[in-house]
Chain A
């Protein structure tokens, strides 16, 4: 906090900003490593821009988030960032913000309210993530036949459904690529490893498996261990592609044990602040949905360097 104040003070002296903007940020809580990283990156982005960020942790409760947004409105902040814990029940408080003429930007998750109640939403497209992962495999294998095993996310969750759909979209029309096994690994390392062991048993000790597609990196990290214990070389004998971009997977890529990951960037705040700055400067209305880049990282993208950059973000 002190640092941000200093940063904004120096920004004032240099005359690069008219005045230090105050932005309230209502975060869901610390439900996962990714969210911790999102909080860290949001703080960094605010500091770089000389924005005074007021942080509120809702501990996974909507009532805490509504209370936080109301207190931001009472303080008269210049904008509110909201990472909504659930999609419903936001109409009243968003209307209050609108009446107070405070722009609200949604981060990462959407709400069911009318789009006129918020300035914009920043997020990733889960289907697109699956498509990027699938396209990598299509480019990687060319015309060779490839039997793919799939570790799905928690059954019925929207990332699991959308990432499965995206991958299938990408491999459609490439009849040499076939998904031969598909099971849920519940997004966890332990279950990813357990299910991969069963896949290896079911596919001739792993000899028939050409590639693994995991809906998140944690399951891939578990599966890599299972593949190693089965006496195969992950990354060589089995091509491994997953989604999220967590530090441990970059480490695996640096060791040549994984081939690619599609990053779900924790930097949702950067595009949000950019949109807000344009709005403050000359009232530019951003589009209602700003899609973050789902960037593909492979072994040739300096995985060790990417690991070093991410390891302290709180993943």
Chain B
């Protein structure tokens, strides 16, 4: 996809993000202001970049999984496990390097487990990953022995709350992970192969695509992304909270992918659009906190905004809009009808 094509692909998401930011600014006028404080930029937009990191990281892996027509419900639990493993290692005096390596390896193993259930045993992804979603938090609690495992390692805390070149480390993490994954899937044939598996597993198998390895890979990438997110949230509070780390974040990650316009039925995907989706969700979250509404309204406001966004992006509405536009331009436009049908069928 060339630069212009990419921009056209993510235009709806960028417009939505802009609309949300304007809306938040209406309720909290000093929202866009950013200043330089000490070693880093401070301000609400920076908070959005930082607080959105876990969901953005999860959304990267989730996009690839969803592109293969799968879904990964276990990422929140994997975050809890990896955070617990890293905190356990660091409090055991094994050093930060070992702790991070162990956490990343744990994430890969969790992803391998999910991938094995899906690709080798052929269990439906939603069921296969549900197993680890339920059991994973128990595993994390075993590691932490049921309490919040706190640590004082400055290096580990830096991963969650430090700053590098003015930007918070978590923001760097998802931006770099997004660029890296984007390059790997788009500069090689990997992205195309993932899409082909998602569109038609049997056909791509017959065409010689090694779908088993491909599925294992996407679930492992998802596990790895969850591990990084787990390290960040543990580093942020200097402790591994097995009960609450990553709780329900799998749903926000799926929502980010959906807002990003990737179909849950697999096929074409855009990591950039999912990342913008994650930022849209975080802007809403941060905006609600800043606006000062009573907490009872938090979820209602979020639900209404998400409903609005998804309605505006819905294929039917898009088809209607496209139909209206084309009718106005050229009454005998033949291309509009097949396009609407195709989009409505997604």
Give chain A's interface residues, CB within 8 Å of chain B.
Answer: 30, 32-33, 36, 152, 155-156, 181-184, 186, 188-191, 193-195, 197-199, 201-202, 205, 218, 221-222, 225, 229-231, 248, 314-315
Contact A198/B286 with A30-B146, A155-B295 known, Cβ cut-off 8 Å = yes
* B147 pairs with A225, CB closer than 8 A: no
Per DSSP, chain B at the interface is mixed
- Give Cα A212–Cα B229 distance, bound, in whole angstroms: 29
Question: Which residue in chain B gives the minimum CB-CB distance to A36?
Answer: B146
Cβ–Cβ < 8 Å partners of A188 in chain B: 241, 243-244
* Segment among B125-133, B232-240, B330-338 that sits at the interface with chain A: B232-240
Question: Which residue in chain A gives the minimum CB-CB distance to B40?
Answer: A229
* B289 pairs with A230, CB closer than 8 A: no
- One of B37, B236, B292, B298 near A181 (C-beta < 8 A): B292
> Considering residues A205, A229, A231, which has the most beta carbons from chain B within 10 angstroms of its beta carbon?
A229
Q: Is B44 an interface residue (CB 8 A)?
A: yes
- Give Cα A33–Cα B150 distance, bound, in whole angstroms: 13
* B147 pairs with A189, CB closer than 8 A: no
- Give Cα A33–Cα B290 distance, bound, in whole angstroms: 31
- Give Cα A218–Cα B148 distance, bound, in whole angstroms: 9
- Give Cα A190–Cα B83 distance, bound, in whole angstroms: 13
- Give Cα A197–Cα B51 distance, bound, in whole angstroms: 10
Cβ–Cβ < 8 Å partners of A181 in chain B: 292
Question: Which residue in chain B gives the minimum CB-CB distance to A186?
Answer: B244
* B150 pairs with A248, CB closer than 8 A: yes
Q: Mark B18-61, 1 if CB is under 8 A from A, else 0.
A: 00000000001010000001100011100100010000000000
Contact A201/B294 with A194-B51, A222-B237 known, Cβ cut-off 8 Å = no
* Across the A-B interface, the 4 shortest Cβ-Cβ residue pairs: A198-B289, A184-B295, A188-B244, A189-B237
Q: Is B255 an interface residue (CB 8 A)?
A: no
- Give Cα A315–Cα B147 distance, bound, in whole angstroms: 6
- One of B30, B42, B44, B241 near A189 (C-beta < 8 A): B241
- Give Cα A194–Cα B286 distance, bound, in whole angstroms: 9
29 A-B pairs within 8 Å (CB atoms) are namely A33-B146, A36-B147, A152-B295, A155-B295, A181-B292, A182-B295, A183-B298, A184-B295, A188-B241, A188-B244, A189-B237, A189-B241, A189-B244, A195-B289, A197-B51, A198-B290, A201-B43, A201-B44, A201-B47, A201-B290, A202-B289, A202-B292, A205-B37, A218-B148, A221-B237, A222-B237, A230-B37, A230-B42, A231-B37
- One of A155, A183, A202, A225 near B161 (C-beta < 8 A): A225
Question: Which residue in chain A gives the minimum CB-CB distance to B37?
Answer: A231
Cβ–Cβ < 8 Å partners of B298 in chain A: 155, 183-184
Cβ–Cβ < 8 Å partners of A218 in chain B: 148
Which parts of B102-135 form the interface with A (CB within 8 Å)? none
Question: Which residue in chain B gives the minimum CB-CB distance to A198?
Answer: B289
Cβ–Cβ < 8 Å partners of A199 in chain B: 289
Cβ–Cβ < 8 Å partners of B241 in chain A: 188-190
Interface residues of B toward A: which range?
A: 20 to 34
Cβ–Cβ < 8 Å partners of A189 in chain B: 148, 237, 239, 241, 244
> Considering residues A191, A199, A201, which has the most beta carbons from chain B within 10 angstroms of its beta carbon?
A201
Minimal beta-carbon separation of B344 from chain A (angstroms): 39
What's the count of A-B pairs with C-beta under 8 Å?
Answer: 78
Minimal beta-carbon separation of A180 from chain B (angstroms): 9
Contact A190/B290 with A155-B295, A183-B295, A202-B28 known, Cβ cut-off 8 Å = no
Cβ–Cβ < 8 Å partners of A191 in chain B: 244
Cβ–Cβ < 8 Å partners of B37 in chain A: 205, 230-231
* A33 pairs with B148, CB closer than 8 A: yes
Which parts of B289-312 form the interface with A (CB within 8 Å)? 289-290, 292, 294-296, 298
Q: Is B81 an interface residue (CB 8 A)?
A: no
Known interface pairs A189-B244, A193-B236, A198-B290; 11 further A-B residue pairs with C-beta atoms within 8 A, sorted by A's residue number: A33-B147, A33-B148, A182-B295, A190-B241, A194-B289, A198-B286, A202-B290, A205-B37, A218-B148, A230-B42, A248-B148
* A155 pairs with B44, CB closer than 8 A: no
Cβ–Cβ < 8 Å partners of B292 in chain A: 181, 202
Minimal beta-carbon separation of B149 from chain A (angstroms): 11
- Give Cα A201–Cα B48 distance, bound, in whole angstroms: 12
Minimal beta-carbon separation of B164 from chain A (angstroms): 15
- Give Cα A186–Cα B243 distance, bound, in whole angstroms: 12
* A198 pairs with B47, CB closer than 8 A: yes
- Give Cα A194–Cα B238 distance, bound, in whole angstroms: 14
> Considering residues A32, A189, A205, A230, which has the most beta carbons from chain B within 10 angstroms of its beta carbon?
A189
- One of B44, B148, B161 near A229 (C-beta < 8 A): B161
Q: Is B225 an interface residue (CB 8 A)?
A: no
- Give Cα A225–Cα B243 distance, bound, in whole angstroms: 20
Q: Is B245 an interface residue (CB 8 A)?
A: yes
Cβ–Cβ < 8 Å partners of A198 in chain B: 44, 47, 286, 289-290
* A314 pairs with B147, CB closer than 8 A: yes
Cβ–Cβ < 8 Å partners of B233 in chain A: 190
Cβ–Cβ < 8 Å partners of B147 in chain A: 33, 36, 314-315
* B47 pairs with A197, CB closer than 8 A: yes
Cβ–Cβ < 8 Å partners of B289 in chain A: 183, 194-195, 198-199, 202
Minimal beta-carbon separation of A162 from chain B (angstroms): 16
Contact A182/B237 with A194-B289, A201-B43, A231-B38 known, Cβ cut-off 8 Å = no
Contact A190/B236 with A201-B44, A202-B28 known, Cβ cut-off 8 Å = yes
Question: Which residue in chain A gives the minimum CB-CB distance to B234?
Answer: A190
Cβ–Cβ < 8 Å partners of A190 in chain B: 233, 236-237, 241, 244-245
> Considering residues B47, B150, B289, B296, which has the most beta carbons from chain A within 10 angstroms of its beta carbon?
B289
Minimal beta-carbon separation of A313 from chain B (angstroms): 10
Cβ–Cβ < 8 Å partners of B244 in chain A: 186, 188-191
